[in-house]
Amino acid sequence: MGGGSYSSVSHYSRADNLGYFKKSTHEIFKEKTVNNAMNPFDVKIRESRDSKEHPESLAIIIALDVTGSMGSIPHHLIKEGLSEIMDNIIQSGMKDPQILFLGIGDHECDCAPLQVGQFESSDELLDKWLTTVFLEGGGGGNGGESYFLAWYFAAHHTSIDCFEKRKQKGFLFTIGDEPVLKKIQKNELKSIMGNGQYEDYSAMQLLDNTKEKYNIYHLHIRQGSNGNRQDVIDGWKQIIGDNLLIIENHKDISKIIPEMINKNISKKSTFIKENKKEEREEIIL
């Protein structure tokens, strides 16, 4: 996957023709259950690959909390947020971003705790996968959501050329307003993912496993009663440290995501240049 190019002009024209700027969240996101194309059951792998069109692909996962009031996030993305993200990434010099959308719920309570799209580059296909997300609006009173399912899927079910060919980590952003649940059992994973070998995991184990090939961030939306709870914020700080990003307004995510990607890649480029400079100096000496 990942063919085609991104055009914000094409996106805005399509959005205008389909009435996205006037429609409500549930008029755009019409799925009444998880779409078969996004059902993770028996999905083996999602790929982000280089091609002649995209010779230096960059894998980016955006995992959306689809419980409760978080439907405002995909609504913002389909209207203007996604276009801002892609334009800002491309304009910063990274020409080949490929985005995979995930839907995240509560594996203890929801019918669809995980939904998975494909890594895509074109505006048409990214819009397609985004609007295919089922906004279940569930969750429960069990103290959190299953954000770690994004970590699990990224670690065990993605293959990305940016890391495998160039040792450039991909990026994974979870977005929500709840704590992360503490663990998942192998039988629960099997019911979500289908046939395979599974084990029990804690949230921290899944986070550590995924760090090998992804830069991981959590965008905590500070809106509503849960979003404003200090204990929720403190809990995320203990888990993810400086990679916790507090978002006062959900519309700011379209600025924060490209900023974090650009900051991380710029830091790596500086590190490589400094190392090469030191190597040259050693040779001269």
Reported as a single tens digit per residue, the pLDDT across 38-75 is 999 999 999 999 999 999 999 999 999 999 878 899 99
pLDDT of 162 higher than 50: yes
Compute the residue count for the chain. 285
pLDDT of amino acid 272: 46
Give domain status of residue 91, yes or no: yes
pLDDT exceeds cutoff 80 at 116: yes
Give percent of the chain with pLDDT exceeding 90: 83
Q: 3-class DSSP state for residue 269?
A: helix
Mean pLDDT of 203-210: 97
- Residue 3 belongs to some domain of the structure: no
Per-residue pLDDT, 193 = 98
Residue 95: φ, ψ to 5°:
-85, -15
- Structural domain contains residue 73: yes
The answer to whether the predicted template modeling score (pTM) of the entire model surpasses 0.75 is: yes
Stretch 211-221: mean pLDDT, rounded? Answer: 97
* Alpha carbon distance 116, 37 (integer Å): 8
Q: Where are the alpha helices (DSSP H) in 214-252?
A: 224-227, 230-240
The mean-pLDDT minimum among 104-113, 160-169, 261-270 falls in 261-270
Q: What pLDDT score was predicted for residue 1? A: 62
Predicted confidence at residue 271, as pLDDT, reads 41
Domain around 78: 8-284
* Residue 154 in domain: yes
Residues ≥6 apart with Cβ < 8 Å to 219? 173, 174, 175, 176, 245, 247, 253, 256, 257
Tell me whether residue 1 is in a domain.
Answer: no
1, 47 in Cβ contact below 8 A? yes
**Is pLDDT of 113 > 60?**
yes
Q: Is residue 215 part of a domain?
A: yes
190 located within any domain:
yes
Compute the half-sphere exposure of residue 196: CA atoms within 13 Å on the CB side of its CA: 18
Looking at residue 141, its pLDDT comes to: 77
What number is the average pLDDT over the span 204-210? 97
Total tally of structural domains belonging to the chain: 1
- In sequence order, which ranges of the chain are alpha helices (DSSP H)? 8-17, 25-28, 72-76, 82-91, 123-132, 148-157, 161-166, 186-193, 203-210, 224-227, 230-240, 253-284
Q: So what's the pLDDT on residue 273?
A: 46
Indicate whether 102 pLDDT > 80.
yes
Where residue 152 sits, what CATH number does that domain have? 3.40.50.410
Mean pLDDT of the 113-128 span: 97
Give the pLDDT band of residue 277 (cuts 50, 70, 90): very low
Strands 214-221 and 244-247: parallel
By C-alpha distance, which of 244, 247, 192 is closest to 223?
247
Instruction: Answer whether residue 52 is part of any domain.
Output: yes
